[in-house]
Homo-oligomer: A and B are copies of this chain.
C-alpha cells in the first residue's frame, strides 16, 4: 500500500481522524429502530450547533453537489429568477445547476481572484424585479476566495424578501458561519471537508421562509424532497436508508468539533492559513486571491514561474508523500490548491510547506528553504 502514509492536503476529501474512521465500523443497525433514533438525535443536535441555527437540519446520503440539488430543487421552480455570483468553477457549476432546474439565472460575474461585494448584489436585486433567490458559494474551492460580505448579503436578502441559498461545502466547520444571524435560508455542506469526515454524506439547514417556498414548489424531487425529510425527521429517521457508516462518522466528527469549540477551531484554521500564505509567499508561490478575500480553508497559489504543475505535484506525491490539488478550469495549469481543513495543525502545515520547498528545489527552482519554513513557523510561535 504505497499510499498508506500519505498526507492528504487536498481541498477535500481531507485527512480524517482515526476515531472518525473507526466509527464507521460500528455495527449495522436497523435504521428504523431505537439505536438509530439516538444516533440521529445526537447528530442533528450537534449539527445545528455547528451551523449556529435553530432551523431544522438534515443529513443527506449524497455528495455535496447532491445537497445543492436538494436546496435548489425544493424551492426553485421553472421560470424563477435566481441571482448567482460567479467567481470560480464551483459558482459556475452552481449557476449551471440552477439553470438546469429551469430557473432564469442572473449571473454576477466577478474576477476569479476576488469575490462579489454586497453592493454589487444589492444593485442586481434592485435592478431585477421579483428575484426569487440568490444562490452563492461562500468559499470558492477553485480560487481560494471567501465571499466575506455574506453577512451583509443576508441583510439585503432579508429586506428584499429574497431566499438566500448558501453552498458552504468547503468551509463549514473551518470558518465563521452563522446561519441564523446571517439569515441563511438554505445552507449546505459536505462531510469530507472541514468537518473531517470521509466523503459520502452532506448536510442542509432549512429556514421557515424556505419551508414556505418548498410548500409552493410543485415539482419537487422525490429522493431529495425536504418535506419528506421533515416528516421522517420528526420521528428521528430518514426518508430512505441512510449511509450508516457516514452517519456514525459524522456523529464522531461533530463530537470532536463540540469538544474543541467552534471558536478554537476557526482560530486554528485561520492560523494555519496565515502560515501557508506567508510560507508560500516566501517560496515565491504567490497567493492567487486578493488579500481581503483569501480563504482560511482552501489555499490557492500561483505555480512558481517556469515550474510544470503536474510534474511538481507528482514529486510532492511520490517523493514527499504530500498530496495537493491542481488548479481548476482555466486556472488548471497556473495554480495549485491546498486544503487547510479539519485536523489541520502546525505539523501538517509545516510538512506541506517543507515538501513544497523540496519539490521546488528538485525542479531546480531557486528556493530559499529557510525563508519559506521560517515565514510559516513564526506564525505559530509569535
Contacts and interface: CB of A to CB of B under 8 A. Distances in A.
Contact of A241 (B63, B219, B225): B63
Interface of A: 1, 3-4, 6, 8, 10, 12-16, 21-22, 24-25, 27-33, 35, 61-66, 68-69, 73, 78, 96-97, 100-102, 190, 192, 198-201, 219-225, 239-246, 249, 323, 325
A66 B101 CA distance: 17
A241 B199 contact: yes
Contact of A66 (B3, B62, B220, B244): B62
Contact of A61 (B30, B200, B245): B200
Contacts of A223: 62-63, 65-66, 68-69, 97, 224
* Chain copies in complex: 2
A63 B242 contact: yes
Contacts of A10: 30
Contacts of A66: 61-62, 66, 223-224, 240
Given A33-B323, A200-B201, 5 more contacts: A13-B241, A69-B224, A100-B219, A192-B241, A201-B243
Given A31-B13, A221-B221, A243 B102 contact: no
A241 to B, nearest CB: 5
Contact of A245 (B68, B69, B245): B245
A65 B96 contact: no
A250 to B, nearest CB: 12
Given A66-B240, A100-B219, A28 B4 contact: no
Contacts of A242: 63, 199-200
A65 B198 contact: no
A213 B133 CA distance: 32
A200 B31 contact: no
B65 A63 contact: no
Contacts of A220: 100
